[in-house]
Amino acid sequence: AATSSDLLAGTGTPVSRASRSQELDALVRRYGGGDASEPAETEQPAPVDDYDPRKPEYIVQASEEEHEDRAVVQLRQQMDRLKAALSRRRLDPGSPVVRHYERVLDDMQRAVDAEVRKRSNMGVPRSDSVLSACSGYLTRIFAAGDHLRAIIDSEMVTFGVALRDEVA
């Protein structure tokens, strides 16, 4: 008597063991065999990706123009922070700190405007960066640092505000 494994599924027709073995071999060749975690014979191993952004061959140096663009962006961010600090201090327009902030802000704006004009003139070489355009202003600001810190400290007592945190 034929068992259910010897019958063609759903038909009741007897199937020989040899034909079942051939079908099984064909399925193994087609879909891979045994454990599902084992790759089928026809599958190729995945290529190894050796990309690492820290490797020198994948690093592209920034151009001078990109450095200048970054300097302009940074200067504008500093101007925005200074404007915010200045707007909080407008209650005392005669304050030496407010006057100093206004001068520095004007100097920074002139430096950015000069860089924009320089870029719009196609014949002008781009060797000077925005930092060199405003280096005199920054030098003056840092040179006046001790005097400004004394003014800020006295203003902090008056207003009870940590101005250094506002500017940073």
Q: How far apart are CA 100 and CA 151, in angstroms?
A: 10
Residues forming beta bridges with residue 7, ordered by sequence position: 14
Residue matched to tokens 């003056």: 140
Residue spans of the domains in the chain: they are 1-43, 62-167
Percent of all residues in the chain with a pLDDT value above 70, rounded to a whole number: 56
Q: What is the mean pLDDT of the chain?
A: 70
Q: Is the pTM of this model over 0.95?
A: no
What was the pLDDT predicted at 164? 44
- Within 8 A by CB and 6+ apart from 64, the residues are 126, 127, 129
- 60 versus 43: the higher-pLDDT residue is 60
- Within 8 A by CB and 6+ apart from 86, the residues are 98, 101, 102, 105
Of the ranges 59-63, 88-92, 104-108, which one carries the lowest mean pLDDT score? Answer: 88-92
pLDDT digits (tens, 9 = 90+) for 18-50: 777 888 788 787 776 655 555 555 667 777 888
- Within 8 A by CB and 6+ apart from 105, the residues are 79, 82, 83, 86
Most confident range (mean pLDDT) of 63-67, 121-125, 136-140, 150-154 is 63-67
Helix axes 96-120, 145-159, angle to 10 degrees: 130
